[in-house]
Amino acid sequence: MAKTKSLCKIIMLFILTQISISNSSSLTPPQVTVTPPPLPILPLPTFSQLKWQQREVIMFHHFGVNTFTDREWGTGDENPAIFNPTSLDANQWVETAVQAGISLMILTAKHHDGFCLWPSKYTDHSVIGSPWRNGKGDVVRELVNAAKARGVDIGLYLSPWDRHDHRYGRTKAYNEYYLAQLQELLKNYGSVREIWFDGAKGANAPNMTYYFNDWFEMVNELQGTINIFSDAGPGVRWVGNEKGFAGTTCWSTINRTSLSIGNGSLINYLNTGDSKGTDWLPSECDVSIRKGWFWHKSQAPKTLTELLEIYYNSVGRNCLLLLNVPPNTKGLISDSDVMRLKEFRGAIETIFSSNLAENCSIKVSSQRGGGFGPENMIDGDHLWTYWAPMDEYTGHHWIKLTAFKEKLKFNVVRIQEAIGLGQRIKRHQVYVDGVKVADGTTVGYKKLHRLEKGVVEGYSVKIKIIGSRASPLISSIGLHFDPFWHPYS
């Protein structure tokens, strides 16, 4: 009897469960509670451009026969035997880069003198003719191996202008030669993240035409995550000067159809970009740590103050800083440069490792649904979490930071846009306790205001966005103290 009872119980339970399952499956689907991200505003960066942008500071290495002749531009007549670094150690270059927080190193595989730092099959004007490693050396290979061991990426510079090769000036023959070398470099050395096409071109062969389109297509065929640098991109554009300074207004957007390589009249356009540009083509600011690009005994590295000025005017203006650090005749980066780079990295860490915005409450003019609140601006993610205002909001957008306790004391304001959804802000201002301390135009990936007034103190900071191509999306903000900034000295 007891057995029959418990069997009945089991059957009842089964029926009830079935009823509840069928009931729940007839319910309407669960409510969607997460607001989707806003639509992007075109153009957008590619995957490789985004990766490039986040590197902030990268390194250039000019090295070759000029290192041994004390010249900046070789004539092309140099004897390869003069290239003889006494103790070349690419690990020391890479270690220097790592200590300086650098994740990409670009080497001049061939400069204008035509001397190749790798044993190219297509010329004898290379390391093959050098006593270094008995003619069996390969600087590109040594750097690639050293960098790989430390997780650093590689870029290569292959000068189009060649003052040595006899084919230069005969367009078809030289383009074949150049393309052959490009293939050697991009097929045999693993992943290459940036290729540098220098616009410099001497007057020795006025009719020489470079087949840029063939070169670019070949590059993209051989490397999947590479950025092509030139005056006109297509991956990264030149900033228009060799001082390391971007325009105070600097759009990553520009019209590529208005650009051409080696055209000096475009310098201002390259420097500022174009708010109406239909192409995403951010700027790279190339500058040398010393006066020259190549190492010269008589030259010393720039001061920390000069390097910081460059940093604020490049990284702080939505660009990448490509800092040249030339190896010397020993094949090493000089101690004075190593020291200066350490100081430079140390200074950047000192300035930006603490953020007073984290000691504040943050209010905003409006907020687009859940997931887009002001807390996203201090969460450490500089790209994919951001504050977004309501689409319908028509007034000026603002962010107000109020100190929890003590007065805020700072001299740098950092603002970053969520550029994965396009560059938007055209004009913005910063106020401390109601007094304007900074007035700016574009923001982009990173805008740094080093305050002209020096250190300011106050309880509230308001960032007003007074012009933008679409609702501004702010991924990060910072209030920092830069002990190296003395505007009145």
Which amino acid type is present at position 423? Q
Nearer to ligand FUL, 126 or 230 (CB): 230
- Taking CB under 6 A as the rule, does residue 7 contact ligand FUL? no
Nearer to ligand FUL, 51 or 201 (CB): 201
Nearer to ligand FUL, 206 or 370 (CB): 206
CB of 111 to ligand FUL, least distance (A): 6
Nearer to ligand FUL, 200 or 435 (CB): 200
Which residue is nearest to ligand FUL, using beta carbons? Answer: 200
CA distance readout (Å), 51 to 81, 153, 233: 40, 11, 16
CB of 336 to ligand FUL, least distance (A): 21
CB of 293 to ligand FUL, least distance (A): 4
Nearer to ligand FUL, 6 or 298 (CB): 298
Half-sphere exposure of 309 toward its Cβ, with a 13 Å CA cutoff?
11
Non-local CB neighbours of 387 within 8 Å, separated by 6+ positions: 364, 367, 372, 373, 374, 376, 377, 399, 473, 474
Pairwise CA distance, residues 41 & 39, whole Å: 7
Two tokens at 450? 């080093």
Nearer to ligand FUL, 194 or 286 (CB): 286
Beta partners for residue 238, in sequence order = 284
Classified as helix, coil or strand, 18 is: helix
CA dihedral for 79, 80, 81, 87, sign (positive or negative): positive
Contact status, residue 121 vs residue 75, Cβ threshold 8 Å = no
Say if residue 22 is exposed, middle or buried (CB neighbours under 10 Å; 0-12, 13-18, 19+): exposed
CB of 112 to ligand FUL, least distance (A): 6
**Which listed residue (142, 198, 231, 309) binds ligand FUL by CB under 6 A?**
198
Write out the binding residues for ligand FUL, residues 54-93 only, by CB under 6 A: 72
Count of residues that interact with ligand FUL, criterion CB under 6 A: 5
**Which listed residue (231, 286, 337, 417) binds ligand FUL by CB under 6 A?**
286
CB of 341 to ligand FUL, least distance (A): 18
Binding mask 200-229 toward ligand FUL (x if CB under 6 A, else -) reads: x-----------------------------
Non-local CB neighbours of 228 within 8 Å, separated by 6+ positions: 194, 195, 197, 216, 219, 220, 234, 235, 236
- Taking CB under 6 A as the rule, does residue 184 contact ligand FUL? no
Two tokens at 331? 């094949």
CB of 154 to ligand FUL, least distance (A): 17
Nearer to ligand FUL, 55 or 368 (CB): 55
Pairwise CA distance, residues 347 & 324, whole Å: 19
Nearer to ligand FUL, 113 or 142 (CB): 113
Contact status, residue 50 vs residue 384, Cβ threshold 8 Å = no
CB of 198 to ligand FUL, least distance (A): 5
CB of 353 to ligand FUL, least distance (A): 32
- Taking CB under 6 A as the rule, does residue 293 contact ligand FUL? yes
Nearer to ligand FUL, 228 or 479 (CB): 228
CB of 65 to ligand FUL, least distance (A): 13
Q: Is the peptide bond before 282 cis (omega within 30 degrees of 0)?
A: no
Pairwise CA distance, residues 212 & 258, whole Å: 16
Residues near ligand FUL, by CB under 6 A: 72, 198, 200, 286, 293
